[in-house]
């Protein structure tokens, strides 16, 4: 289950191709009530912006065809988002589980919802509905101003999960993280953190050596034209 797609389905398609498992993708920001924004179409037509209108219709139609093709191959898109309560184009995580009849399936949850992750995970109720979520990939935003919330959520998740990977988003700026022991460090404003349920980790999977991130042949910069951030840290 993915929350926050943003016109990039590569991860979801690769996941399906590797596992042959069904994928559910949610994003309320990409379309209006349907595949075409009727208000925008009328506006461009009235202003005689026919080239822009044609380009928009062509672009939207191409995405419509792609989404329909993916749906036929069990990669299913919903123009909805996740929230604490059902309202408009948003619904709760548990309601999405029920609607898709996956309350007992083993799940991978991926979330990139532009700072709304704090509202979701600051609500204690979400942790009661992660019982069948084996892996979680979350992009945390605005750490410079929300570091305490980030730490609180990570510590709560670590009661049942282990952090197995972390990647700094090079689209964000770095800020100085001051420590009482004087070991200050430069920290990214956006990080992607991968969690795996403790009971799914085998003893032979556990490593103790220091790892340098990004990992070669695994991590790639979010902005390809910029160098990736390099970290030397031990995940505990």
The 10s digit of each residue's pLDDT in 172-230 is 888 988 877 777 888 899 999 999 999 999 988 887 777 788 988 889 999 999 999 98
pLDDT at 36: 79
Beta bridge partners of 107: 133
Lowest-pLDDT range of 24-33, 112-121, 124-133:
24-33
| Spans of all domains in the chain | 1-105, 107-236
Across residues 120-146, what is the average pLDDT?
Answer: 96
Strand 191-197 relative to strand 133-140, pairing: antiparallel
Rounded CA gap, 204 and 212, in Å? 20
- Per-residue pLDDT tens for 142-157? 999 999 999 999 999 9
Rounded CA gap, 90 and 103, in Å? 19
Across residues 37-66, what is the average pLDDT?
Answer: 88
The answer to whether residue 94 scores a pLDDT higher than 90 is yes
pLDDT at 235: 45
Flag whether the pTM goes above 0.85: yes
CA distances, 70 to each of 8, 13, 26, 35, 229 (Å): 13, 8, 14, 15, 33
Neighbours of 172 (CB within 10 A): 19
SS3 140: strand
CA distances, 100 to each of 23, 94, 130, 192, 216 (Å): 11, 10, 15, 26, 36
Rounded CA gap, 5 and 29, in Å? 9
pLDDT at 186: 84
Beta bridge partners of 167: 192
pLDDT at 232: 61
pLDDT at 131: 95
Burial label for 67, CB within 10 Å (0-12, 13-18, 19+), is buried
The answer to whether residue 236 scores a pLDDT higher than 60 is no
């Amino acid at each position: 289950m993915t929350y926050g797609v943003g016109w990039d389905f590569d991860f979801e398609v690769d996941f399906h191709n590797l596992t042959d498992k069904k994928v559910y993708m949610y994003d309320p920001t990409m379309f209006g009530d349907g595949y075409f924004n009727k208000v925008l179409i009328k506006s461009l037509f009235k202003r005689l912006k026919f080239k822009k209108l044609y380009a928009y219709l062509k672009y939207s139609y191409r995405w419509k065809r792609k989404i329909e093709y993916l749906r036929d191959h069990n990669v299913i898109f919903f123009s909805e988002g996740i929230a604490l309560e059902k309202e408009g184009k948003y619904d709760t995580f548990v309601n999405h589980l029920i609607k898709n009849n996956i309350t007992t399936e083993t799940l991978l949850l991926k979330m990139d919802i532009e700072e709304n992750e704090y509202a979701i995970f600051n609500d204690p109720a979400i942790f009661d509905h992660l019982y069948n979520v084996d892996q979680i990939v979350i992009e945390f935003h605005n750490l410079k101003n929300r570091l305490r919330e980030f730490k609180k959520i990570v510590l709560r998740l670590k009661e049942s999960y282990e952090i197995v990977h972390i990647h700094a988003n090079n689209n964000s700026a770095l800020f100085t993280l001051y420590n009482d022991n004087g070991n200050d460090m430069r920290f990214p404003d956006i990080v992607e953190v991968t969690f795996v349920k403790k009971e799914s980790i085998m003893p032979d999977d556990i490593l103790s050596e220091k790892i340098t991130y990004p990992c070669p042949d695994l991590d790639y910069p979010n902005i390809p034209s910029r160098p990736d951030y390099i970290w030397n840290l031990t995940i505990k």
